[in-house]
């Protein structure tokens, strides 16, 4: 099993945590999103993933993109350390938390979006930072309210779930862009719990071989 990713990619970060939590043997192949004009645009990678994004998972002859689809595949193939609750309503609530981040927050601050703002649209660095801050703050404010209703040690009660896998990379990005995290005490508390687990520590961007 091979994960194609980039050390700073939030989506690849999610999958790394899932692989670690489930203790799944795998290898990592770096697709550097900046070097060489972006290695995701190379012919060999476009053949693998026409979306020209990371991550991509290759499991023998099976190839799948989209981090949440990959995580669902891993969760069903390797049922140990499940990433969703068993109860249907609980499972759906966890999915909603994950989608709040992966669908409504993360895409607006993805690298290719920021590159388009600063490139073809000629947005200044200050304006780009304001864009980032606006969408992160709006998303985190809503998430903080929801988590106050369902969080235990982690996003949903006391077991790590796919919601935590989405949250932690987004917090990492927010801090990288100097977002004030003080308005989100529940989010911060969950991050502290996740930071105690080796699965999250080993998945940190700076702990990856291609970190630069």
pLDDT tens-digit map of 122-170? 989 899 888 889 999 999 999 999 999 999 999 999 999 999 999 999 9
Beta partners for residue 65, in sequence order: 56
212 pLDDT band, cuts 50/70/90, is confident
Domains in the chain, start-ordered, CATH in brackets? 2-81 (3.40.30.10), 88-199 (1.20.1050.10)
Q: Say which residue, 43 or 113, is predicted with more confidence.
A: 43
State how far the Cα of 140 lies from the Cα of 145, in Å rounded to an integer.
Answer: 9
Angle at 142 between CA 154 and CA 83, to 5 degrees: 30
- pLDDT for 23 equals 97
Per-residue DSSP letter, 111: H
pLDDT tens-digit map of 45-94? 999 999 999 999 999 999 999 999 999 999 999 999 999 999 999 999 99
The pTM (predicted TM-score) of the whole model is 0.94
Instruction: Label residue 136 exposed, middle or buried (CB < 10 Å: 0-12, 13-18, 19+).
Output: buried
Question: By 3-state DSSP, what share of the chain in percent is helix, strand and coil, each rounded to 5?
Answer: 60, 10, 35
Q: What SS3 string covers 36-80?
A: HHCHHHCHHHHHHCCCCCCCEEEECCEEEECHHHHHHHHHHHCCC
């Amino acid at each position: 099993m091979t994960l194609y990713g980039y050390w700073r990619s939030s989506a690849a970060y999610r999958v790394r945590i899932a692989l670690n939590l489930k203790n799944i043997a795998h290898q990592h192949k770096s697709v550097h999103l900046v070097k060489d004009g972006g290695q995701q645009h190379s012919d060999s990678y476009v053949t693998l993933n026409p979306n020209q994004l990371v991550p991509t998972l290759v499991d023998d002859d099976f190839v799948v993109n989209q981090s949440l689809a990959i995580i669902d595949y891993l969760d069903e193939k390797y049922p140990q350390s499940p990433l969703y609750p068993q109860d249907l309503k609980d499972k759906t609530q966890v999915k909603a938390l994950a989608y709040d981040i992966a669908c409504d927050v993360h895409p607006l601050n993805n690298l290719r979006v920021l590159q388009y703002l600063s490139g073809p649209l000629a947005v200044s660095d200050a304006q780009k930072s304001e864009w980032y801050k606006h969408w992160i703050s709006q998303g985190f404010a809503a998430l903080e309210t929801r988590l106050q209703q369902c969080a235990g040690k982690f996003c949903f009660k006391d077991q790590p779930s796919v919601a935590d896998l989405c949250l932690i990379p987004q917090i990492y990005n927010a801090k990288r862009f100097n977002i004030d995290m003080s308005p989100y005490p529940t989010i911060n508390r969950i991050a502290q719990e996740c930071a105690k687990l080796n699965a999250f520590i080993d998945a940190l961007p700076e702990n990856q071989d291609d970190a630069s």
